[in-house]
Structure 1
Amino acid sequence: MLDLDLWWLLLFPAFFGLGWLAARVDMRAVLKQAKEVPAAFYKGLDALVDDRTDVASRSLAEVARAHPDSLDVQLSLGKLYRRRGENDHAIRLHQKLLELPDLTAEQKSQVRFELSQDFHKAGLVDRAEELLLTLLKSHHMGKSAREQLLSIYQQDRDWEKAIATARELRSDAHSFQHEVAQFFCELAQAALYQSDYDKARHYVAEAFAANRKCVRASILLGDIEVAEGRLEAAITAWQAIEKQNYEYLAMVAERLFDAHEALGKSQEGIALLRGYQRTFSQLELTDLLYQKVATYEGEAKALEAVREAVHARPNLLGVYRLIEAQMDELSPEGRMDAEVARALVMKHAQKLTVHRCKRCNFRSRAFFWHCPACGEWESFTPNRSETN
């Protein structure tokens, strides 16, 4: 037993010595590799950090010329060309890479995918699509190719292909139900413009099948009902939005009132607007409510309605209406002062009151179902917010 312990004591220094030797060998290998990296690589990396892409592209091109067999360097240079808008350089580089005889199938797929992005960025969408379709069966690039195709089909408004591609991309991580519902809504909107109400109804039903909480489908269904003279059904469709997402009620508020008015139920329409205003103070209903109440109940009631709305949710447009509603009661001098204040409020309201994308913070006075900046669907705030 004593001899065994002695052997262990003798082995411990040997283990430490082997560990020290391995560390020295690894460190020498690292230092050797670091010395082999061209100085232009570090220069290009430094330029990228400083966002000097012109210097970075020249430096990386120098590295690529020195290492023509390094696929990663060549691909990085191609991406940098594309980022700088030098699409012709990127295309030539990737086409030249495809001519290399020793590329593996995986590497060829990667180069073809980069080339498809070059074509897309250059506006050669057909050529990009043609390349991407050849990658769909690729184990490594198939998913990326479908995602790129989906982007192309949305850009081209080819909603049928977009629907098919989104369904192929569906997974536990991303169901694409919101996107597919919006694609069907685009088709329904086009059919409605052409007065093809049966086809529009079919697409709306498909949108609901993809996403039963699709507000846009409810809006379109109400529009179809109105076009076919079924006002009560239209009111039912639009009121369903309250349970789907009440923030979008402001988008159909005037349509709801008009439908009630056409049925001879103007007071019910006003009562509905008042109810929405009191229950959901963030809805942008003040201006509409003022106009309808003033028409059917008089200026005094309209002023009361505006005052209630502004006190519940102070905002510039509400203040504008509040000043306007009281102008007739002022003296000539007071009216002049109020006019200056009203004009100033409206100027700032028009500047600051915008719809905003909740994903990328893009701002616009117009509402979009599809954000023109980041491409997200249903990300725009339906009610304008005051921001700077």
Structure 2
Amino acid sequence: MELDLWWLLLFPAFFALGWFAARVDMRTVLKQARAVPAGFFRGLDALVEDRTGEAAQALAEVAQQQPGTVDLQLTLGKLYRRRGENDRAIRLHQALLDWPDLPAVQRDAVRFELAQDFSKAGLVDRAEEILSRLVDGNMALAARQQLLDIYQQDRDWLKAITVARALRSDVHTFHHEVAQFYCELAQGELYRSNYAQTRTYLAEAFSANRKCVRASLLQGDLELAEGNVEAAIAAWQGIEKQNFEYLSMAAERLFDAYEQQGRPMEGIALLRGYLRTFPQLELTDLLYQKVATYEGEPKALEVLREAVHARPSLAGVYRLIEAQMVELSPESRLDAEVARGVVMKHAQRLTVHRCKRCNFRSRAFFWHCPACGEWESFTPNRSELN
């Protein structure tokens, strides 16, 4: 009975202690909130409203009031860099590095930011020098990623390969990128007619990614340059098993190889087979021209009509109108000319390659997206904008 009484007396005491602790914590919070300069909140509000100039000014005032806050200085430097004020960002980060008591972890973070400043300002050599010293420290991953971007911009593919392999992990193997880097090297050697080195680089590309379509395209070009026409045809036909969408990039090469051997009809049969099996391939115009040359206009019109009906497109309709104009009366031909002109105008404007990652659109095809930097993300066959 006495124990129960003691418990009843202790309950109010527990509640009192809890209330007191809450009051102490609340006072601490309020005290800390009052200690934050008003300029910080002005800068934050300006950032939310995307008024970067006003935000930079407000945060600079706060940084002057609290010069020992490294995180705030780093944020201000990033804001300067985002606004294109690279010289101010460089001065700020260099001043931070002059602090004698700056901890090692924060010193590496400041160096990384300074490297980005130099890179943005076009001083790539100085950025590379700083980043190379960071690859063994706390900023190793970020430094290597930044170096990879620099080497790709400079087209220094051997260094890019080394960094990409160092970045390889279970999350990102970089095998597509490494294969593309070797293809860039092979392309350069092929232009210089250095066939032995081209073959070596292509072997490395296939070793990194056996489904690398670009390597197969270059392999065919190499074989053809050395006079191995059958080997070239085999390399280009192998693209069907790698990624059939890229057959449209090999189609004209394939036909020319068959034509060179005096077998143009086999080339036409191959193209027709591809188009029937994969109607999304951009082969209609090429096939029409080759059939018209070797089998006559009526047969070419038949092939064209079949392809356009299977997969209607502005480019196909343009060619279909053009193919039938000779059969029209002079008055009807004028009407058809107007229709053909309108269709072509819209086809040129709306038919584009696009990046599957960032949706960047271009009339030209790229292996490396100019917008997001992704490799092998561009659609090989153009599509029409909705």
Q: TM-score, normalised by structure 1?
A: 0.97
Separation of aligned partners in 2, 1:46 and 1:293:
66
Say what the alpha-carbon RMSD is for the aligned residues. Answer: 1.1
Aligned partner of 2:247 in structure 1 is: 249
The residue aligned with 1:53 is: 52
Local SS of the residue matching 2:279 = coil
Other-structure match for 2:312: 314
Distance, in Å, in 2 between the alignment partners of 1:13 and 1:45 is 44
Within 5 Å, which residues of 2 pair with 1:93-132? 93-132=92-131
Name the counterpart of 1:194.
Answer: 192
Select the residue among 203, 209, 212 that pairs with 2:201.
Answer: 203
Give the distance between the partners of 2:25 and 2:304, measured in 1 at CA: 76
Q: Separation in 2 of the partners of 1:19 and 1:288?
A: 82
**Counterpart in the other structure of 1:146:** 144
C-alpha distance in 2, partners of 1:268/1:129?
53
Alpha carbons of structure 1 residues 264 and 13: separation in structure 2 relative to 1, 3 Å: farther
> In the alignment, does 2:343 pair up with 1:377?
no
Distance 1:44 1:311 in 2: 60
Give the 3-state SS of the residue equivalent to 2:352 in structure 1: strand
Output the amino acid matched with 2:297: E
Q: Which residue of 2 is the match for residue 83 of structure 1?
A: 82
Summarize deviations over 1:112-158 as a string: whole Å, max 9, x none.
000000000000001001111111111x2011111111111111110
* Counterparts of 2:17 and 2:249, CA distance in 1: 75
Show CA shifts across 1:236-295 (max 9, x none). 101111111111110111001111111111111111111111111111111001101111
3-state SS of 1:326 partner: helix
Query: Which amino acid letter does the alignment assign opposite residue 87 of structure 1?
Result: N
Aligned with 1:175 (options 173, 176, 180)? 173
Name the counterpart of 2:271. 273
Gap regions ≥5 residues in structure 2 = none
**In structure 1, C-alpha distance between the alignment counterparts of 2:189 and 2:35, rounded to whole Å:** 63
Partner residue, 1:288: 286
SS class of match (1:96): helix
- Pairwise CA distance, 1:373: 1.0
Task: State the distance in 1 between where 2:230 and 2:52 align.
Answer: 60
CA distance in 2, matches of 1:297, 1:13: 102
Q: Secondary structure in 2 aligned to 1:340?
A: helix
Q: Whole-Å Cα distance in 2 between the matches of residues 69 and 293 of structure 1? A: 76
Decide which of 365, 368, 376 is 2:363's aligned counterpart.
365
Residues 147-199 of structure 1, C-alpha deviations (whole Å, 9 max, x = no match): 11111111111000000000011111111100000000000000100101111
What SS does the aligned partner of 1:61 have? helix
In the alignment, the residues of structure 2 paired with residue 271 and residue 11 of structure 1 have an alpha-carbon distance, to the nearest angstrom, of 95
Structure 1 counterpart SS, 2:193: coil
Aligned residue in 2 for 1:137: 136
Q: Which amino acid aligns with 1:200?
A: T
Please say which of residues 10-19 and 223-232 is displaced more in the overlay: 10-19
Rounded to whole Å, the distance in 1 between the matches of 2:27 and 2:337 is: 80
Shift of 1:17: 3.1
1:67 offset after TM fit, Å? 0.8
Match of 1:43 in 2: 42
Partner of 1:62: 61
- SS in structure 1 opposite 2:96? helix
C-alpha displacement of 1:4: 4.0
Matches of 1:97 and 1:284, distance apart in 2: 56
- Cα shift readout 1:18-54 (whole Å, capped 9, x = no counterpart): 3333322222222211111111111111111111111
Q: How many Å apart are 1:6 and its aligned residue?
A: 4.2
Shift in Å at residue 5 of structure 1? 4.2
Distance 1:329 1:220 in 2: 43
Q: Give the counterpart of 1:227 among 225, 233, 245.
A: 225
Instruction: Tell me the secondary structure at the aligned position of residue 145 of structure 1.
Output: helix
Aligned position for 1:302: 300
SS of 1:164's equivalent in the other structure is: helix
Please state how far the C-alpha of 1:9 moved relative to its aligned partner. 4.0
Deviations 1:313-351 (A, max 9, x none): 111000001101111111111111011000000000001
Relative to structure 1, the CA distance from residue 153 to residue 13 in structure 2 (aligned partners, 3 Å threshold; closer, same or farther) is same
What letter matches 1:296 in structure 2? Answer: Y
Deviations 1:71-111 (A, max 9, x none): 01100000000000000000000000000111011111010
Q: Which segment is superposed worse, 37-46 or 3-12?
A: 3-12
What is the TM-score with the length of structure 2 in the denominator? 0.98
In the alignment, the residues of structure 2 paired with residue 204 and residue 10 of structure 1 have an alpha-carbon distance, to the nearest angstrom, of 85
Q: Which amino acid aligns with 1:221?
A: Q
Alignment of 1:344-355 (within 5 A): 344-355=342-353
Which of 340, 343, 346 aligns to 1:342? It is 340
User: What's the CA shift for 1:308?
Assistant: 1.0
CA distance in 1, matches of 2:381, 2:182: 24
In the alignment, does 2:331 pair up with 1:333?
yes
